[in-house]
Amino acid sequence: MTADVLDDTAASPQTHAFEADVAKLLHMMVHSVYSDKDVFLRELISNAADACEKLRYEAIAQPDLLGDDPAPRITITVEADARRLTIEDNGIGMTAADMAETLGTIARSGTKAFMDRIAAAQGGEGTQLIGQFGVGFYSAFMVAAKVDVISRRAGQDGAAMWSSDGLGTYTIGAVAAQDAPARGTRIVLHLLDDAADYAQAPRIEQMVRAQSGHVPVPITVKDKPDAEGTQVADGTALWTKPKSAITPEEYKDFYRSVAGQWDDPALTLHYRAEGRHEYSVLAFVPETRPFDLFDPDRKGRMKLYVRRVFITDEAELLPRYLRFVRGLVDSADLPLNMSREMIQDSPILAAIQKGLTGKVLGELEKTAKDDPAAYAKLWDTFGAVLKEGLYEDFERREALLRLARFKTTASGGEWRSLQDYVAAMKENQTAIYYATGSDLDRIASSPQLEGFRARGVEVLLLPDQVDSFWVRGAIDLDGKPFKSVTQGAADLSLIPLPEGADAPQAEPSDAVGAFLAFVKDTLGDAVSEVRASDRLTDSAVCLVASESGLDRQLEKLLANAGQLPAGAAPVLEVNPAHVQIAALAALPEGDELRADAAELLLDEARIVDGEPPRDPRAFASRLARLIARATMA
C-alpha cells in the first residue's frame, strides 16, 4: 500500500480490500466467535478505555498531548429516530495509517503492538491492556449495518474516517476538522433493524453498568447529541480502593448490586494477591440462601474482570460447593481467548482458583473460631452445600471436616463440631457413628439409635442427601472412621454401660433362637439374615444393612435413581428381650399366627424405617386376622 493511499489529507475516500480472507473471515468472526450480541458494547468501551490509557502513558513523555483536556472520558450517544449509536473517547486517537493497520487487518491489534513497544522499552515488563487480540471491534457488525470510525491522533491536526459495511471492503479518507473529535475516536454504528433497541438510553445504561461500570474512565450516556447526559460510571472501582477507605454501607451497596440480593453480607472478603500472579478479590458470603443455590447446574456466581472490565460470570473461580459466594476477581495478567467469553485453560486461572478457595475456607474457619454463633448461622444456611466438598474435594477434605457442624443425639438441637464429638467419645469407642435419612426428627427417633443412647454414645444425625455419599469416601478424623448405625453389627458390647444401667440380655433364649430361625425361613430372600440385636432396647425390630452392603439410606437413594436393583435384602434385627418377641417365641410350632407374625415383624420394621409394607393387601389381611384373634381371646 503506497504512502499516498494513507495520506490523511487525501481529497476523497478511497476503497481498499481487507488484508485477510475478507467476507468469509469477517462473517465467521461476527456470527461464530460471540454468542451474545450485548458484548459489542463492552468491546468498544474496552477499546476506548485502552485508548485513554495509551494517551496517559504517552503523555508522561509528551505532556502537551493532553492540551487543555487532560481528563479522560467516554461518551455514548443514542439517537433512536436515526437508529444510531455513537461511542466516543478522548484518548490517543488514530491516523489513517493506524486505521489501515489496525482496523483493516482482522486480528492485528493496535493495543498488542503498543504493549510490545512498551515491553521493549522497559526490558520486557510492559503494561496490561484489554484489547490484545484485535477482534473485539468487529463485534460491532453483529448489530450494525455500517460502522464509521472518525479519529484524530493526539498532537496532530488532520483527521480521518474509516467506514465499512462488514461485507469485504472498507474506505479510508480525510474528514473535515469540524466533523471529527478534537482528539480521540468516535465510532458511529448505523444499527440493523433488529438491533434498534440499542438506540434506547435505558438499555445502554443498563449494559454499561452490568459490563463496564468499573473501567478506569468515566462513562456518560446521552439520549441525544446536544443533551447534557447522565454519568453511568465514574471511573472508579470499589475493589481497587484500600479497605480503610470503604465504609460498611459502600460494601453493602456493592454486594447488593453484584449479588442481586437485598439482604446484608454475612462475610466480606477483600484483598489483593501479589507476587507471581496479581489479582484483586471482593467476595461476599450472603446472609440468606440465594434462590438458585440448588440449581441442577450448580454453577458459581463469581464475576471475572480483567483490568476492571467485565469478562464473564461463567468462569469456575470457586469449586461448586462454594457457589453461594458472590463477588468478583479482577486479574491484570490472565490470558483470554479471542472472544473474551471463555477463559483459556491457563495455569494463572488455576492459581487464582486455588488461592481464592483457600482464602474463602480460611475466612470461614476464622469466623468459626472467633464468632461461633455467627458461624453456626452460616452453617445452618449453607452447610448442606459445603458438605458437597467432603465428597468432591479430597485435597481440602481435612479443612472441610474442621468446618463441618452436625446435629447429634447429644447436642440438644445445637450444632456440634467433629472435634467436640471426638473429645466426648466413650471408652473403647473406635468409630464416629452416624445415622442418615431424609428428616432430622425421623432420624432422631430411629430404633437403631436405642442401644447407642443407652450407652451414652453420641451419633451424628445426617438429613441431607449428600451425607449418604461423603461418609462412604474412606473418610476418617484422627484415625476414627465413620460408621453407620444402620450397617453391619453395632459392636456395642465393648462400650461400658453408664453406672446403674441394666445390662441387656447377652444371648437369646433357646425359644427365641428357634423363633428367629423360623422367621428367616418364613421370610426367605426378603431378608439376608435374621439375628438378635444389641442395638435395640425399646423397639422389637429394626432393619440394617449387612457389613459389606450399603448404608440403608444410600440404598434407597440409589434405588430411587435406578442405579441399584430395588429390593436389596436387608438384615432384620430382633430385640430378644422384648416382651412381644418372647410371647411370639412361646407360641406352639403349629400355630398359624407364627407365620403372620414373621411377616408383620418385617413390615413393622419397614414402616418404622419410612418404607411401605412389602405387600399392603397382604399386610392388611394379616393385621385383620391378628385383631380378630385378639378380640376373640
Q: Which three cell numbers stand for residue 259?
A: 449479588
pLDDT tens digits for range 545-578: 888 777 778 877 777 777 765 556 899 999 999 9
Same domain, 51 and 125: yes
Confidence of residue 398 (pLDDT cuts 50, 70, 90): very high
pLDDT tens digits for range 194-242: 999 999 999 999 999 888 888 889 999 999 999 999 999 999 899 999 9
Cβ–Cβ under 8 Å, residues 435 and 485: yes
Q: Which of 338, 353, 333 is nearest to 278 (CA)?
A: 333
Please say if the pLDDT value at position 477 is more than 50.
Answer: yes
Q: Which residues, other chains included, contact 166 with Cβ-Cβ below 8 Å and sequence gap of 6+?
A: 26, 30, 138, 141, 144, 146, 147
Please say if the pLDDT value at position 154 is more than 50.
Answer: yes
Same domain, 250 and 185: no
Range of the domain at 348: 238-373
Residue 498 φ/ψ, nearest 5 degrees: -60, 155
State residue 348's pLDDT score.
87
The CATH number given to whatever domain includes residue 261 is 3.30.230.80
Q: Cell numbers 446472609 label which residue? A: 287
Same domain, 181 and 299: no
Domain final position from 205, 233, 261:
233
Same domain, 147 and 58: yes
Same domain, 45 and 187: yes
Range of lowest pLDDT (46-60, 424-438, 501-515)? 501-515
Number of compact structural domains in the chain: 2
State residue 136's pLDDT score.
77
Q: Three-class SS of residue 148? A: strand
pLDDT tens digits for range 64-84: 999 999 999 999 999 999 999
Percent of the chain residues past pLDDT 90, beyond the cut: 61
Range of lowest pLDDT (29-38, 300-309, 326-335, 515-524)? 29-38
- CA 524/CA 414 separation, integer angstroms: 43
Domain final position from 204, 233, 262:
233
Quick one: how far is CA 37 from the chain centroid?
25
Same domain, 209 and 260: no
Q: Which three cell numbers stand for residue 254?
A: 456493592
Same domain, 195 and 317: no
pLDDT tens digits for range 313-348: 888 899 999 999 999 999 988 765 434 445 656 788
Same domain, 208 and 300: no
State residue 262's pLDDT score.
86
Q: Is 592 part of any domain?
A: no
* Mean per-residue pLDDT over the chain, rounded: 87
pLDDT tens digits for range 236-277: 899 999 999 999 999 998 998 888 888 999 999 999 999 889
Same domain, 164 and 144: yes
Q: Which of 389, 475, 385, 489 is nearest to 432 (CA)?
A: 475
pLDDT tens digits for range 412-469: 999 999 999 999 999 999 999 999 998 899 999 999 999 999 999 999 999 999 998 8
Domain final position from 233, 266, 289:
233
Cβ–Cβ under 8 Å, residues 415 and 405: yes
